[in-house]
Amino acid sequence: MNNQPINLTERLAAGDEAAFAELLDALGPKLHRAARRMLYSAAEADDALQDCFVDLVRGRHRLLQVEDVNSYVFRMLFRATYRIINRRTDRQIETHELSDMTDSRSASTIDVIDDTEELEFAVSQLPHEQREVIVLKTDGGMTFQEIAAFLGISANTAASRYRYAIDKLRTYLVQESCETKMNCS
Amino acid sequence: MRNEDELFVERQLEQPPSMSLPDALRDRVMNAVQSELTIPPRVHRKVATNRSRNAVLVAGIALSIAIVVLVFSGADRGHRNDDIAQSIPQPAPSVETEPLPTVQDYRMALWSSPADLDSLFERPSFVPDRHVNSVNFRSKLLE
């Protein structure tokens, strides 16, 4: 009689180290980028990723009841990032927002984004609730319905937060592009 | 309708991340996972059990103390008025003194026998003029 776990979730729940390595290899890059977008700090993103996996190991017996492992892992990551944010003494990075970037250069196109760090910085400056949606949509690969369930909001709210965030990012990047090329009217 | 810039931003955001984590970070995370896996799950459960047991113990002690306080305060309530009454300093019982002699007493003494007059002077509260005594009292009064 073969009692060996057959899928990744069961192996994780059984404490199989190789299963955690597989999970880390599969989701690690996305999780790490999501943490960087949430925290805008590579060192803190490293901490968040480690905390996320430690939490997964500690709560591995719950994995058997989890329907969507991807969502569950992102939830663990978000908790880790929230803990780090709460530990911060300097909250200036949390208070900056792009909401005041409302100049009217929307007709311009973004000519140059050769530095992805610029985009990551812009994401990190979004209001927290918009950043969550951006991260879950782009890194978590979730639909608005899944994001709504994840955050406990309506799908319409999730979608509108996403649209507002994209608009702010576009405005910011257009402005940066104009400042770089000095060709905006 | 989304414009070209918005689509561009979305595409940039959805660019796949690097294919793998840096080795140092991967090793760090896996070391943490290994360390955590070496702790048997029952230890976690035991810690949790001990925590909940301690919580129940503390709650039980607190409840017991509360019950004892309530019981004693309730039992004591019947005697509380007495206690309060006892705790209030009562005036010392006054020494029963004879009433001060009144004018009527003097008048009676004036017409009474010398023995009655002497008894009047023997009263502790009776403080006559130092020149007055039981002998000359009658004459002084008649002066």
**How far is A81 from A71, CA to CA, in rounded Å?**
15
**How far is A50 from B30, CA to CA, in rounded Å?**
8
Q: Provide the residue type at B137 as one letter.
A: F
Q: Cβ distance A18 to B30 under 8 Å?
A: no
Letter string b/e over residues B22-44, b meaning 16 or more CB atoms within 10 A of that residue's CB: eeebbebbbebbeebbeeeeeeb
Query: Does residue A92 belong to any structural domain of this protein?
Result: no
Residue in chain B nearest A114 by alpha carbon: B12
- Judged by CB atoms closer than 8 Å, whether chains meet at B33 and A33 is answered as no
Q: Cβ distance A72 to A100 under 8 Å?
A: no
Residues of A in contact with B10 (CB under 8 A): 138, 166
Task: Mark whether A105 and A166 lie in a shared domain.
Answer: yes
- Judged by CB atoms closer than 8 Å, whether chains meet at B9 and A166 is answered as yes
Task: Mark whether A53 and A107 lie in a shared domain.
Answer: no
Helices (H) and strands (E) in chain B, counts: 6, 0
Residue A118: CATH number of its domain = 1.10.10.10
- Can you give the pLDDT at residue A156? 93
Q: How confident is the model at residue B7 (pLDDT cuts 50, 70, 90)?
A: confident
- In the DSSP assignment, the letter for residue B39 is S
Task: Mark whether A101 and A177 lie in a shared domain.
Answer: yes
Task: Mark whether A65 and A109 lie in a shared domain.
Answer: no
Task: Mark whether A128 and A167 lie in a shared domain.
Answer: yes
Residues of A in contact with B37 (CB under 8 A): 15, 17, 20, 57
Q: How confident is the model at residue A79 (pLDDT cuts 50, 70, 90)?
A: very high
State which of A34, A68, A87 marks the end of a domain.
A87
- Across the interface, of B4, B13, B32, the residue whose CB is closest to A138 is B13
- Count structural domains, chain A: 2
Task: Mark whether A107 and A175 lie in a shared domain.
Answer: yes
State which of A17, A52, A87 marks the end of a domain.
A87
**How far is A132 from A94, CA to CA, in rounded Å?**
13
B48-75, pLDDT tens digit by residue?
Answer: 666 778 888 899 999 999 888 888 876 6
State which of A65, A87, A109 marks the end of a domain.
A87
Residue A63: CATH number of its domain = 1.10.1740.10
Q: Domain residues for A56?
A: 8-87
Record the pTM: 0.60
Q: Cβ distance A133 to A152 under 8 Å?
A: no
Task: Mark whether A108 and A152 lie in a shared domain.
Answer: yes
Query: Does residue A2 belong to any structural domain of this protein?
Result: no
User: Six-digit token pair at A140?
Assistant: 């978590």
A19-78, pLDDT tens digit by residue?
Answer: 999 999 999 999 999 999 888 888 999 999 999 999 999 999 888 888 888 899 999 999
- Can you give the pLDDT at residue A175? 78
- Judged by CB atoms closer than 8 Å, whether chains meet at A28 and B29 is answered as yes
A80-107, pLDDT tens digit by residue?
Answer: 999 998 887 655 445 444 444 434 334 4
Task: Mark whether A64 and A104 lie in a shared domain.
Answer: no
Note the ipTM here: 0.76
Residue in chain B nearest A113 by alpha carbon: B12
CB pairs under 8 A between A and B: 92
Residues of A in contact with B3 (CB under 8 A): 106, 170
A155-166, pLDDT tens digit by residue?
Answer: 999 999 999 999
**How far is A114 from A71, CA to CA, in rounded Å?**
31
Helices (H) and strands (E) in chain A, counts: 9, 0
Task: Mark whether A101 and A172 lie in a shared domain.
Answer: yes
Q: Cβ distance A71 to A137 under 8 Å?
A: no
Residue in chain B nearest A44 by alpha carbon: B25
Higher pLDDT, B108 or A112: B108
Task: Mark whether A172 and A108 lie in a shared domain.
Answer: yes
Task: Mark whether A57 and A128 lie in a shared domain.
Answer: no
User: Six-digit token pair at A59?
Assistant: 């709560």
**How far is B2 from B7, CA to CA, in rounded Å?**
7
